[in-house]
Amino acid sequence: MLIKNGLVFNPTTNFMQQADILIKDGKIVKIESNINDSSENIIDASGKWVVPGLIDMHTHFRDPGFEHKEDITSGCNAALKGGFTTVCCMPNTNPVIDNKCIVTYINSISEKTGLNLLIAGAITKGLKGESLANIGEMAFLPNVCGFSDDGKTVMNSKLMKTAMNYIKPFGLPIFSHTEDHSFSGGAMNAGQNAQLFGIKGIGREAEEIIVARDIILARETGCKLHLSHISTKGSLDLIHMAKTVWGMTNLTAETAPHYFSLDDSLLGDYDTNKKMNPPLRTKSDVEAIKEGLKSGIIDVIATDHAPHHYDEKNVEFENAPFGVVGLETSFAISYTNLVRTGILTPLELIEKMSTRPAQILNQDSGKIEVGSVADITIIDTEKAYKINKSEFLSKGKNTPFDGMEVYGNIEYTIVNGQIFYQSANTYTNRKYLFKLSNKTELPLSKKLCV
């Protein structure tokens, strides 16, 4: 395969230049200003971004147990459509991903989809917070990339410290959910707006107490700690302190697009598609999150893709489950709100959506270099379009961004040198629609070949 004339990104070397990329046997073999090879399929990427495949560190695929919300195949297809070549799924399934059997089940399905599906094993058995899961058994299985009780916090601090001590020698990170459950029970951010709308609040201290605790435990144990879905200014201050004053290099953090795009003043419509955990915070938190992304206090943008069925969300705000989908909107929301507004440079965005996640997850991807695996996403950043949830491949349509005008359309998702998603926009002849989940290369429209 030959990708011609695209704007090629490699955040690891600060490279952003028009170039051609030659791919053979799943690897990048040449990156030069003009490559000609008539024996190869050619993608004309003129005017497009050619970036290392996007990597999502935090997604919920609901399978096994809640397949009416999402199953592994629909989730993988949604990820590929969103430009992701690697995704890490969280263990709050039923049964919980806390043993070899469930990991093997997930691997057996995901290997047919094309996506690199990584798995976060549970820290505690059944996510109950009582005793450690079969961590040693899971740590050596293919695609297990870390451990988390996401959706829940391991509330017993001593058990969390034991988990860190136990996991550290495996070199894998813990992804911490950061919520003190003694403050649970609310439905939106505590504060003026919660009072105005008459909804019980969740204070920012619920997040910040566990951020502080887990930083202290990670400093003590040396275990790699990744703080999930950071949403408050106070959390940023704590992470900043840990990274700069304490010099912690084993600490990373993520936020999600809704935390830098939306705030709690928007909840007056009681739209349950804006309900997630942690909740949308205030305008000043949103500004702080943007600054934290710019300064590098926050390393990663993840989706926290949390699909729920329409019937589950179509209830009173207080009774709806927490969570919004994100795989098919994450790039466009991030690009539109962070790059087109001048907050992040294009390279900084790709670093947070691919290169840093690859490093944290110990993956040999997240870069476009000769010799590296050909996981590549091609993106049209110039044409505006409206997000339309009915076009999602995810079973979950619970997005707060439906109807929003954005920039950043995913045109191709290439994994291991094979096209697994191709936008209908790229075909001049509409009858060639993309086909997913068959692990075969898609036919390129002749008209696209130059």
The residues that touch Zn ion, with contacts defined as CB under 5 A, are 150, 304
Marked catalytic residue, from 44, 63, 304, 375: 304
Q: Which is nearer to ligand DOR, 146 or 408 (CB)?
A: 146
Residue 277 binds what, of Zn ion, ligand DOR, none (CB under 5 to 8 Å, by partner type)?
A: ligand DOR
Catalytic site residue 304? yes
- Tokens of residue 418, six digits: 């094979």
Alpha carbon distance 283, 185 (integer Å): 23
Cβ-in-10-Å burial (0-12, 13-18, 19+) of 39 comes to exposed
Any contact of residue 211 with ligand DOR (CB under 6 A)? no
Site string for ligand DOR, 89-108 (x = CB under 6 A): ---x----------------
Which residue stretch of 75-83, 131-139, 318-326, 337-345 sits at the interface with ligand DOR (rule: CB under 6 A)?
318-326
Residue 204 binds what, of ligand DOR, Zn ion, none (CB under 5 to 8 Å, by partner type)?
A: none
The answer to whether the beta carbons of residues 351 and 36 sit under 8 Å apart is no
Which residue stretch of 7-15, 280-288, 317-325, 391-399 sits at the interface with ligand DOR (rule: CB under 6 A)?
317-325
Q: Distance from CA of residue 145 to its chain's centroid?
A: 14
Alpha carbon distance 142, 128 (integer Å): 25
Q: Which is nearer to ligand DOR, 256 or 387 (CB)?
A: 256
Identify the residue among 11, 151, 366, 417 touching ligand DOR (CB under 6 A): 151
Q: CA torsion angle for 437, 442, 448, 450 (degrees, to 10)?
A: 130
Any contact of residue 385 with ligand DOR (CB under 6 A)? no
For the stretch 200-205, contacts whose Cβ atoms lie closer than 8 Å and that sit 24 or more positions apart, written own/partner, are 200/318, 202/277, 202/278, 202/279, 204/231, 204/232, 204/234, 204/235, 204/281, 204/285, 205/180, 205/234
Site for ligand DOR in 25-84 (CB under 6 A): 60
Residue 276 binds what, of ligand DOR, Zn ion, none (CB under 5 to 8 Å, by partner type)?
A: ligand DOR
Alpha carbon distance 33, 15 (integer Å): 13
Any contact of residue 146 with ligand DOR (CB under 6 A)? no
What is the crossing angle of helices 205-221 and 233-244, to 10°? 20
Any contact of residue 400 with ligand DOR (CB under 6 A)? no
What one-character DSSP code corresponds to residue 11? Answer: G
Any contact of residue 323 with ligand DOR (CB under 6 A)? yes
The answer to whether the beta carbons of residues 52 and 375 sit under 8 Å apart is yes
Q: How far is the CB of 128 from Zn ion (least distance, A)?
A: 17
Alpha carbon distance 330, 398 (integer Å): 14
Q: How far is the CB of 269 from ligand DOR (least distance, A)?
A: 18
Site string for ligand DOR, 166-205 (x = CB under 6 A): -----------x----------------------------
The answer to whether the beta carbons of residues 88 and 58 sit under 8 Å apart is yes
Any contact of residue 255 with ligand DOR (CB under 6 A)? no
Catalytic residues: 304
Q: Which residues bind ligand DOR (CB under 6 A)?
A: 60, 92, 150-151, 177, 276-277, 304, 306, 321-323
